Amino acid sequence: MSTGINPRLLITLAGVATFVGSMATLHVLQPKLDPLDEALSYYVHGRGGWLLTVGLLSLALASLALKWSLRLGRISARVRRGWWCLWLWNAGLLLGALVAADPLGQWDRPPSISGMIHGLAAMVALVVFPIAAMLVSKGLRDNRDAGSVLLLTLARLAVGSLALFLASLVPVFVRPGPPILLGLTERVLFVCYAAWIAAAAICRSPSSGSSQSAA
């Protein structure tokens, strides 16, 4: 059994940590942006806005390293479907990172082309991720060990966080104006997603018992 450092695990954890650190820094640099109501995407237009791009690209890199881990060895059909869903998540995340959202306060007007691209890419990524998480978590589970239980629990939390996020958007379709608690639900969502990515990387690490069985 190898005792060396697993580069895929390091890349994934470093990417998640960079994403979390970038977002936390932006909250400090732009305190006027209300974290309860305003999306993370708006940080790109303020002080240190480049950190949003860095954070999203780092999370995409973390996901790429995780997919690399999932592809190694024999995997079940369910994990393979989850692997392809992670590709869609990554594509949406990368496009959302590279194409900026419209500035704050434009819910009462049609979005620009870049704003529309950002919004659609982000929505695809956010919706497909919980599907990937559930498929991979169930596909990797072959017993009731702590790692398997944790991974499936985080996947279910990702599904729940997406439901809350989508619920925050409902008011947009029934009355003029912005969503309700969009910022809070989006931040909860990203915490759940990032936690699952980190946990999945650890479970697939050679030092983890669950990594020895690929379903």
Q: Which domain holds residue 98?
A: 7-212
Rounded to whole angstroms, how far apart are CA atoms 117 and 82? 24
Rounded distance between C-alpha atoms, residue 63 and residue 68, angstroms: 9
Condensed to tens digits (0 to 9), the pLDDT of residues 3-22 reads 566 888 999 999 999 999 99
Q: Does residue 1 belong to any structural domain of this protein?
A: no
Q: Tell me: the pLDDT tens digits for 143-198?
A: 557 778 899 999 999 999 999 999 999 987 887 778 899 999 999 999 999 999 99
Residue 45 placed within a domain = yes
CA distances from 169 to 87, 163, 174 (A): 25, 10, 10
Does pLDDT of 208 surpass 90?
A: no
Give domain status of residue 185, yes or no: yes
Q: What total number of domains does the chain contain?
A: 1
